[in-house]
Each structure stands twice: as C-alpha cells, then as structure tokens.
C-alpha cells in the first residue's frame, strides 16, 4: 500500500512490453507498477519509476523486490516455481500462485492435467514414445520442449528421419486445423471471472502476427464453448489474473493448444478495442477488484505485430511520420526496443465497422513501420 495515495503497490516480475503496458494501466488506477527488470533498458524499466534490477531466477532479488508489494505477478513464465513457492511461504501474495504456474512452465504437466479434466487437446505422448506415437498418428509430428519455449522457440515439426531435439519433450499429432483462436479470461481470488470476446490469431513461423476481434464468422455456439472452456480452466487451475487459452479450430471442434497466465499478445487489441484493457483487467484480478467490462468498443478490431526491419532502411521515427499521415486513426504501441530484423518491436491496432477494412489497415500499418513503405 502506498501510504500517501492509499492505493496498492503491484509488483511485476519481468521488464518486457507486458510490464510496460501494465504500467500504463496501473497509472490510471493511481498506482506505479513496481518492476523487477534484468536490465535498465528493458522496455518497462525505461518508463517506470519503481524499478528493481535483478534476475528472476535470483531468490534474494525476488524477495527484496516483493517486500512491500500488495501482490506480485508476472510478465513471463520463467520464474522457477520453487522460488514462487518460497515467496508464498514468506507471506507474499503472489498471483497466479505456484500451483497454476506449474502448468504454464511444464507442457507435460499441463497436457496431463488437461487430459485429466477431459478438456479436448491434440493427441500427444511423452518423448520416449515419440516413434511409436508417430506410427499411430502419422509423421510429421509436432515436438515441443517441456520447458522454456515461447514465440515459436521450443516447437519443431519432426519427420520420420529427423533427429529429435535433445531436450525433455512431448510429441503431438499435427492437427489439421482450420485456424487458431484464443479465449482470454480474467479471474480474481474472489472467484469472479470475466471473459473477452473470442479472437482469431494468425501465426507466422510460430509468432502471432495478427489478431482479429471478434473472430470473424465464428459460430456463436462455438464462441460460447471457447469462453466456457477458458472459464472452466481458470477455475479448475485456480488461476488468479489473466488466462489466455490458445485454441485450434478444426472441422470436429476446438482443441486446446497452449495456456498463458499473464497479459498475452492475443489480448493487445483490448487496449483500444475493449472497454477494459487486458492490462487493467490483470491488475484488477490480482488485486481482487471487481472485473471490468470486456465489451468491444467497435464492431471490428484488428491488431498486427510490428517486427523490426532490415538495418539501413528508413529510420523508425520517419516511418512513423509517414504512417500517421497515411492513417490518422491507427493506434501505435512501441515497446522501447532497439530495432532488429524480425524482432517484435511493437503493435498497431485499427478499429472500425468492417473487419476486412480494419485488417487491411492494421497489416498495412505494421508493414509500413517495418519496411518504410
């Protein structure tokens, strides 16, 4: 609690763009997000006042940072669960706690738990059974590192003659999918859950490049099914904060692909596109405030990630000038990162009446910021 303002102190472990955007939301709520950053030029550390420098695998650093926080939460899933449990043992309020966090850190534990819950998932097996499994479902299979993967890292398509990566892994059938969807919900300790409209996510090379809200032409019953699934998972796994459920839509129905328990790329559109942004919602959830309205602010919202372009092109600031001249209504979010080819350096959001138009505007804006026109 900040004794001057009478408002809470939330600590977020990790200084990336999720913390950066959560800080923006915290400011409106009268707070100043406390951030544990690895380096002073981390995206969030550049813009926040209450920054601790330290590594998220260093328990002493975590303890010093957590001291005085009303609640500690995360911008990524790389804090060892044992450290999280140690903080809880110290009496620190951590959200989500070590119980649910385990499932986003260990894909095998997650698959086992989802199977136990009867949730539809791709057919899968643990690493040792990869070959026998592939004989059943057919090569190639999808191989995933049990720990540490994100943004396409730690996922491989493996064919009959390919060697298996030398990490602990699971194998999954390659699902014949129609498209990918994501269902985002937030749950508070009180047990209130709020669900956002289901979105379509478009991936390229394992990286989310586009999000369309609401998912175009989605059968309303299937949308409700996806929301109910996410709500049920938030509840069963006792998530506190956001839960993003990445889904495959197949001819036969929905399958759960991945879970994340933090603000998520598939929810960046909510900053302008929903009455309550995912960042504010995450803060409300971990603070046990009542959840905010998740309604859309426009009939169609499209978000596109901005990737860094090749060195030597038009400077980013000049590209921004051109973009603003071309589309005065597109919203830009930069993450404070140095431009590197292919690196996610920001995102853009377009809102309007018609999905085809907003999608075109968002993609054009993202391409423009990458290539300089």
* Size, binding site for a copy of itself by CB under 8 A: 55
Site for a copy of itself in 181-200 (CB under 8 A): 194
- Residue 38 engages a copy of itself in binding (rule: CB under 8 A): no
Name which of 40 and 206 has its Cβ closer to a copy of itself: 40
Beta bridge partners of 260: 244
Site string (51-70) toward a copy of itself, x via CB under 8 A: x-------------------
Q: How far is the CB of 224 from a copy of itself (least distance, A)?
A: 20
- Residue 304 engages a copy of itself in binding (rule: CB under 8 A): no
> Residue 161's CB: how many other CB atoms inside 10 A?
6
**Of 96, 122, 127, 292, the one binding a copy of itself by CB under 8 A:** 292
Residue 68 half-sphere exposure, CB side, CA atoms within 13 Å? Answer: 9
**Of 206, 290, 299, 341, the one binding a copy of itself by CB under 8 A:** 290
- Residue 299 engages a copy of itself in binding (rule: CB under 8 A): no
- Residue 136 engages a copy of itself in binding (rule: CB under 8 A): no
Stretch that binds a copy of itself, among 147-155, 209-217, 245-253, 322-330 (CB under 8 A): 322-330
What's the CA gap between 294 and 28, in Å, rounded? 17
- Return the residue matching tokens 């064919």: 159
- Residue 328 engages a copy of itself in binding (rule: CB under 8 A): yes
**Of 23, 102, 359, 370, the one binding a copy of itself by CB under 8 A:** 23
- Residue 150 engages a copy of itself in binding (rule: CB under 8 A): no
Q: Interface with a copy of itself by CB under 8 A: which residues?
A: 1, 4-8, 20-21, 23-24, 26-30, 32, 41, 45-49, 51, 194, 275-276, 284, 289-293, 295, 297-298, 315-317, 320-321, 324-325, 328-329, 331-339, 346, 351
């Amino acid at each position: 609690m900040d004794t001057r303002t009478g408002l809470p102190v939330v600590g977020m472990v990790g200084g990336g763009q999720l913390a950066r955007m959560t800080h923006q939301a915290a400011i409106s709520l009268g707070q100043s997000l406390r951030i544990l950053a690895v380096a002073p030029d981390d995206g969030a550390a550049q813009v926040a006042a209450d920054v601790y420098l330290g590594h998220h695998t260093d328990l002493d650093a975590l303890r010093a940072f957590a001291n005085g926080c009303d609640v500690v939460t995360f911008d990524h899933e790389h804090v060892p669960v044992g450290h999280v449990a140690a903080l809880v043992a110290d009496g620190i309020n951590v959200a989500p706690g070590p119980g649910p966090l385990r499932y986003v850190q260990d894909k095998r534990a997650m698959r086992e738990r989802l199977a136990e819950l009867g949730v539809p998932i791709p057919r899968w097996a643990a690493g040792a059974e990869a070959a026998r499994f592939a004989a059943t479902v057919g090569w190639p299979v999808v191989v995933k590192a049990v720990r540490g993967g994100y943004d396409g890292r730690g996922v491989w398509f493996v064919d009959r003659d390919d060697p298996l990566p030398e990490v602990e892994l699971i194998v999954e059938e390659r699902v014949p999918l129609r498209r990918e969807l994501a269902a985002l919900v937030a749950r508070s300790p009180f047990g209130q859950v709020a669900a956002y409209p289901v979105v379509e996510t478009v991936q390229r090379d394992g990286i989310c490049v586009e999000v369309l809200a609401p998912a175009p032409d989605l059968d309303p019953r299937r949308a409700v099914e996806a929301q109910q699934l996410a709500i049920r998972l938030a509840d069963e796994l006792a998530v506190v904060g956001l839960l993003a459920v990445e889904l495959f839509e197949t001819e036969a129905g929905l399958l759960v692909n991945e879970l994340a328990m933090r603000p998520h790329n598939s929810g960046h559109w909510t900053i302008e596109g929903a009455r309550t942004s995912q960042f504010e919602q995450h803060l409300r959830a971990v603070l046990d405030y009542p959840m905010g309205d998740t309604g859309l602010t426009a009939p169609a919202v499209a978000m596109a990630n901005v990737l860094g372009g090749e060195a030597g092109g038009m400077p980013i600031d000049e590209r921004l000038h051109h973009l603003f001249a071309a589309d005065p209504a597109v919203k830009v979010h930069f993450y404070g990162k140095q431009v590197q080819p292919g690196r996610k350096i920001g995102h853009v959001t377009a809102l309007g009446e018609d999905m085809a138009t907003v999608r075109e505007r968002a993609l054009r804006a993202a391409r423009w910021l990458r290539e300089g026109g």
